[in-house]
Chains A and B, each alone.
Chain A
Amino acid sequence: MKPNKPIHILFTGIACASFLVYILACGTSFSPDDSQVLYPAFDRQSYAVAVAVYDRAKGRSETIFTPIAPTETITNQYLLLARAQWLADGKHILVGHTLGDHKGIGLHLLPRGVNGPVRHLPCLEVDEPLAALELPFVVVGSQLFLRTAANTLVRLDLMTGEVFTREFTNDIWVLPAPDGKTVIGYVEAKGEKGGVLGAVDQRTLEFAPVTVLTNEPAEGTIPAFDPASGRTAYVYATKESPELRILTNGNAAVTRALTREEGELIVGPLLDFTPDGGNVLTTYRFEPANQTNAEYGLLEIPLSEQPLRWTPLFYAEARDDAGFLYAQASLSHDGTVWAIATPYLYIQNESLKPDDCALYLVEIGRAKPKVNKVPIAPPRHRGSFSK
């Protein structure tokens, strides 16, 4: 058959268009709801601790809140701890911070992009204010659920300020569920013998157990529970290396040893299921044998035979400090970006370089995750949090 050029050109054009559509469909996408990231920072004028918002589309940051404590009660303003979190409506930001007297926390509800007042909520007396701000806020609708003492939960209405309190026999923690509509409770068994995960009734604060952990999670780690899928993830410390264990409806499903070359590996404290449920994300600190500097970063643990994925973020001396507990790691709703901020780590660990005081945005879901580092201007001096 003699080639017919115009027709062949048409077919080539079809192939070009098909290929182009294929390539465009292959690329990563970002949800508009995840366009802004809240993170802890420092106020540039006073170097007091602050809350900032990073706009990923514009690549710009804006400081939106900074608590200033009376100087009679606090030596350095940056030694307060602040945590900020979006409400589900995407129009309000809840900010909590320790008070200068370290006896409670202050709470504020800030409007963002909408008209309305800034709500200064009742300060709550909290036994361990730092502990109260270590974990993400549990907010369902306009209700905040908070642990104010080892065995005490409080429900605070963010609109009216109404407070409801309940005490428990054992120590209890509250965690947000991935669906944002359930309050997860974790009751620790006495004598470090595991615990029970379940749901907390949002009206009565009554705890309904769902899954029993017969093994004690590794020290410094907190289990993750997804009520929708019935899956529980926790880190268990063995003699050789930590293990990630997944239970489905209380039954052992997956166990993965978390191993590196010779050295000490610590993972946690928080675990996040990715939205597709195929991976668990957590922070890690790896100290190679015979070295003083440790590697800090993000660990992606596939719940399959795929290899572990390590994304180092910075290097510093390993310390017996809270580590990543104050780094406020969070995962975007579409599961493509994981964020962590290191200002509190920087204050506590003098071996961190000023360049490492930053907001790290890690684009996961790629063979080689891409790391975007947004610098945070650090204070001139460092100190340590006092509980």
Chain B
Amino acid sequence: MIDVLQHLFAGICGQNPDHTWSPGGIMLPCCQRCTGLYAGAFVAALLHSTLRPAPTNRWLWLNGGLLLVMIPFGFHWLPQGAGLRTITGVAFGFGLVGYFWLPLRSGVTAHPAAKRAFLTVFLATTALVPWMAAQGNALIGHTLWLAAAGGGLALFGLVLANVVLAMRWTISRLRESRLQKEAELGCSQ
């Protein structure tokens, strides 16, 4: 199974072995940053589906900030080690899911105290994922690659859902525009 994941992630990750965790001798299917990204995305997707935090302005800025954090680290403007790569990946994953989830939560009521719980889990994830990856435990290795696989699926699913929604929105707007034009033509005649 991990061979299949390595093959799948090969298309979207450089898989630099020097920047790849290998807990318990199990080399994870993606690099340290991608491990953080996909594991973070997996946790973020679970949180969004259960807690449903409301997209306030502050919330949108926060998720945007998590995306922007990737710029100095992703382009190697700042020195970083294995832990920081993973942490920035987790932050990026949370930011991505935060934005991808927006069109999908239309009309859904937020869970009370969602934000506080969300932030607590986010901080715990940024600390936990690199700590787990640095352990020499094979069980943790399996857990992480499962989380990475889950995150990959979650992101893929979110992207697909957004594409479908965007197409539906575009079609409905085109239909409305056509009906409006027909109505105008009918009035003028």
A: residues with CB less than 8 A from B are: 1, 3, 5, 8-9, 11-12, 14-16, 18-19, 22-23, 25-28, 276, 278-279, 300, 302, 304, 306-307, 309, 365-368
Query: B103 and A365: CB pair below 8 A?
Result: no
Closest partner residue, chain B, to A365 (CB atom): B16
With A16-B159, A18-B70 as given contacts, are A26 and B13 in contact (CB-CB < 8 Å)? yes
How many angstroms between the C-alpha atoms of A25 and B75 in the bound complex?
8
Q: Does B121 contact A (CB under 8 A)?
A: no
Query: A9 and B14: CB pair below 8 A?
Result: no
B137 to chain A, nearest CB (A): 15
Q: Does B130 contact A (CB under 8 A)?
A: no
B residues less than 8 Å from A1 (CB atoms): 54-56
- How many inter-chain residue pairs (CB < 8 Å) link A and B? 101
How many angstroms between the C-alpha atoms of A15 and B96 in the bound complex?
5
Q: Contact size class for B? A: 35 or more
A residues less than 8 Å from B159 (CB atoms): 16, 19
A301 to chain B, nearest CB (A): 11
How many angstroms between the C-alpha atoms of A137 and B149 in the bound complex?
47
A residues less than 8 Å from B98 (CB atoms): 15
Closest partner residue, chain B, to A367 (CB atom): B15
Query: A3 and B20: CB pair below 8 A?
Result: no
A82 to chain B, nearest CB (A): 34
B43 to chain A, nearest CB (A): 17
Closest partner residue, chain A, to B21 (CB atom): A306
Select B20's contact among A26, A27, A279, A367, beta carbons within 8 Å.
A367
* A-B residue pairs, 6 tightest by C-beta: A15-B99, A8-B102, A367-B15, A366-B15, A3-B106, A11-B99
A residues less than 8 Å from B65 (CB atoms): none
Query: A304 and B18: CB pair below 8 A?
Result: yes
Q: Does B129 contact A (CB under 8 A)?
A: no
With A3-B102, A14-B64, A15-B95 as given contacts, are A23 and B18 in contact (CB-CB < 8 Å)? no
How many angstroms between the C-alpha atoms of A12 and B155 in the bound complex?
12
Query: B22 and A12: CB pair below 8 A?
Result: no
B residues less than 8 Å from A8 (CB atoms): 55, 102-103, 106
Most buried by A among B17, B37, B103, B169: B17
- Not counting A11-B60, A26-B12, a sample of 14 additional A-B residue pairs whose C-beta atoms are within 8 angstroms of each other reads A5-B169, A12-B162, A12-B166, A14-B99, A15-B67, A15-B96, A15-B98, A15-B99, A18-B67, A18-B92, A306-B17, A366-B14, A367-B6, A367-B27
Query: A366 and B17: CB pair below 8 A?
Result: yes
B residues less than 8 Å from A27 (CB atoms): 14
B1-35, CB under 8 A of A: which get 1 and which 0? 00100110010111111101010010101010010
